[in-house]
Amino acid sequence: MTMAAPALPTPTTRQPNAFVEFCRQQPLGAVSFVIIVLMMFAGLFSPLVAPYDPLTIDFASLLAAPSWEHWCGTDAFGRDICSRLIYGSRTALVIGFTSSFLGSTFGAVLGVASAYFGGKMDDWIQRFVDILLAFPLIVLALVVVAAFRKFVVGGVDVNLIVAIAIPIVPRVARVVRAAALSVRVMPYVDAARAAGYSHTRIIFRHMAPNVVAPYLIMLTAFIAQAILAEASLSFLGLGVTEPTAAWGLMLSGNAADFYREAPWMILFPGVAISVAVFAFNLFGDSLRDFLDPRFKV
């Protein structure tokens, strides 16, 4: 009587964790991700993290130099700069992420529609995109924010968000259209058309999932541009207004008047803006290298 050989255990291939793989392949991207997480933590838990109320005026501590009591010094009204920086991260992230999300999403919709339908619709959309691309991001944002009346909802300047989102639309639309054009000629898209599927199903089932990678990359990269645009508009007096804590606003007004006596009023907000923009730009580049198969070694 012959006995059957025991079945050998089949080897199981364990898929590496995407986040761990990202950190291994993109160490600088992981560092930038940590900076972004710290910004988000500071923005979400500002009342718990900030040592002082950012709006409290202390006439006994006007223009106080950095010390153990005030780590980043105080401004011309005696307000703690460190606390205003922490609360300013909330302003930067809310306006930056919302503007980038709205602009990138609407731009992705335009790009996919332009690539899928083609013909006259593609021509009209691309001419509209060309007109918007003729203006630099900050110039177009200046025109929009100056043309419309300030509209604030829940402490958030909606006009400012829309003004920053509009210049993002054509830039994302052009990139997403290029990715969607390569998807449109794929055999499975032709098969879906031949099967009589609706345009909506083909776009959302077959084309949209294949342009998610460039959409996420552009969304992340333009958060940095939105933060910089918000700081620039606030510095020019067309963005966030007093007494809201905002990094660009901290660089204007009294900071320009007391830059010799109190250089920390300019130094720390400038460093905060630079680090935030650098972190988001670096994270966007690292995300592109990680998601794009052409950059794989």
107 contacts 165 by C-beta, under 8 angstroms: no
Task: Give pLDDT, residue 12.
Answer: 46
72 contacts 80 by C-beta, under 8 angstroms: yes
Q: Which residues of 73-96 are buried (b: 16+ CB within 10 A; e: fewer)?
A: bbbbbbbbbbbbbbbbbbbbbbbb
280 contacts 36 by C-beta, under 8 angstroms: yes
User: Can you give the residue ranges of every domain in the chain?
Assistant: 27-44+77-295
How far is residue 214 CA from its own chain's centroid?
14
**Distance, CA of 159 to CA of 95 (rounded, Å):** 11
DSSP 296: -
Task: Give pLDDT, residue 151.
Answer: 63
Please name every residue paired with 157 in a beta bridge, in sequence order, or none if there are none: 152
**Distance, CA of 159 to CA of 166 (rounded, Å):** 11
Q: Which residues of 235-253 are buried (b: 16+ CB within 10 A; e: fewer)?
A: beebbbeeebbbbbbbbbe
Q: Report the CATH fold assignment for 27-44+77-295.
A: MetI-like fold (1.10.3720)
Task: Give pLDDT, residue 155.
Answer: 56
pTM of the full predicted structure? 0.83
Task: Give pLDDT, residue 276.
Answer: 93
Reported for 252-260, long-range contacts at CB under 8 A and 24+ positions apart, including other chains, are 254/75, 254/76, 254/77, 255/75, 257/76, 258/63, 258/76
Task: Give pLDDT, residue 257.
Answer: 73
Largest CA distance in the chain: 100
Q: Rounded to the nearest 10 degrees, how much is the dihedral formed by the CA atoms of 199, 201, 205, 210?
A: 10
Q: Tens-digit pLDDT profile for the chain (297 aa)?
A: 455 555 444 444 455 577 788 888 888 889 999 999 999 999 899 989 999 988 888 888 888 888 898 899 888 888 999 999 999 999 899 999 999 999 999 999 999 988 888 888 889 989 989 988 888 888 888 888 877 766 665 556 788 888 899 999 999 999 999 888 888 878 888 888 888 878 888 888 888 888 888 898 889 889 999 999 988 888 888 888 777 888 888 888 667 677 778 888 888 999 999 999 999 999 988 888 887 655 555
Transcribe 200-212 into DSSP letters: HHHIIIIIGGGGH
Q: Rounded to the nearest 10 degrees, how much is the dihedral formed by the CA atoms of 183, 185, 191, 193?
A: 90
